[in-house]
């Protein structure tokens, strides 16, 4: 069991109280469905993978099942507990860590061939995104890949979310010498009115 921890920031507001409902929502769609637009960019050989904002562990568990060494960073204690229980049979290193600084992970020597942020980036404001991108870039191995999704549309009550453009994210990537690999647009898998997603993938020098 991991003992490292970092205090959750405001981006996690509202997630603890709704953890059971959110976990059910996350687990109602498969890893393959969610990542269809970018899955071809993921390593085919066993690799080191970091899932930032891992939620219920759906993606972390799927990647572990493929033979990857997976670290799941999730700042909400209730979601970590649910993830450990739901995916108890998978070898996942659960870490209590949070953007933008990811202090626990950046203090470790481990670096990753793939870093994922699924439905996470919109929780950070502009200043946090600038710091957060630097943290993520520092966690990539050479030729490592960063894949993230951007949420567009109305904000649910009680949640902290910001509209983030692809142009801003591409500019941040350029500042940290990450090369764009792929961009895809898709509708919301849960059918929420007005909600859509942009997927972006980058590779480190």
In a domain, residue 5? The reply is no
Residue at token pair 């269809």: 36
With 0-12 / 13-18 / 19 or more C-beta atoms within 10 angstroms meaning exposed / middle / buried, residue 18 is middle
- Would you state the pLDDT for residue 159? 81
- Would you state the pLDDT for residue 177? 97
Spatial distance between the Cα atoms of 197 and 166, rounded to a whole number of angstroms: 10
User: In a 3-state reduction of DSSP, which class is residue 99?
Assistant: coil
Domain of 136, CATH number, reads 3.40.50.150
- Confidence label for 2 from pLDDT (cuts 50, 70 and 90): very low
In a domain, residue 196? The reply is no
Spatial distance between the Cα atoms of 64 and 150, rounded to a whole number of angstroms: 24
- Would you state the pLDDT for residue 21? 78
Spatial distance between the Cα atoms of 30 and 33, rounded to a whole number of angstroms: 5
In a domain, residue 9? The reply is no
Host domain of residue 168: 20-189
Structural domains of the chain, count: 1
- Is it the case that residue 17 has pLDDT exceeding 80? no
Q: Is the peptide bond before 100 cis (omega within 30 degrees of 0)?
A: yes
In a domain, residue 197? The reply is no
In a domain, residue 131? The reply is yes
- Would you state the pLDDT for residue 15? 61
In a domain, residue 128? The reply is yes
In a domain, residue 199? The reply is no
- Percent of the chain predicted with pLDDT > 90: 83
In a domain, residue 13? The reply is no
Select from 194, 74, 203, 77 the least CA-distant residue to 142: 203
| 22-67: pLDDT as tens digits | 778 788 899 999 999 999 999 999 999 999 999 999 999 999 999 9
């Amino acid at each position: 069991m991991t003992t490292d921890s970092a205090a959750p920031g405001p981006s996690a507001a509202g997630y603890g109280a709704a953890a059971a409902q959110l976990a059910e929502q996350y687990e109602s769609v498969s890893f393959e469905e969610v990542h269809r637009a970018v899955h071809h960019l993921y390593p085919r050989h066993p690799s080191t993978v970091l899932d930032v904002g891992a939620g219920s562990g759906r993606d972390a568990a799927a990647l572990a099942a493929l033979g990857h060494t997976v670290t799941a960073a999730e700042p909400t204690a209730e979601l970590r507990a649910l993830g450990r229980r739901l995916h108890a049979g998978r070898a996942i290193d659960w870490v209590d860590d949070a953007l933008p600084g990811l202090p626990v992970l950046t203090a470790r020597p481990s670096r990753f061939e793939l870093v994922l942020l699924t439905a996470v980036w919109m929780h950070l404001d502009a200043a946090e995104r600038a710091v957060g991108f630097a943290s993520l870039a520092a966690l990539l191995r050479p030729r490592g890949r960063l894949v993230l999704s951007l949420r567009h549309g109305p904000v649910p009550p009680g949640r902290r979310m910001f509209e983030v453009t692809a142009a801003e994210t591409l500019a941040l990537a350029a500042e940290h010498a990450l090369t764009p690999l792929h961009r895809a647009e898709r509708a919301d898998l849960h059918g929420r009115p007005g909600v859509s997603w942009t997927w972006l993938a980058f590779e480190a020098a």
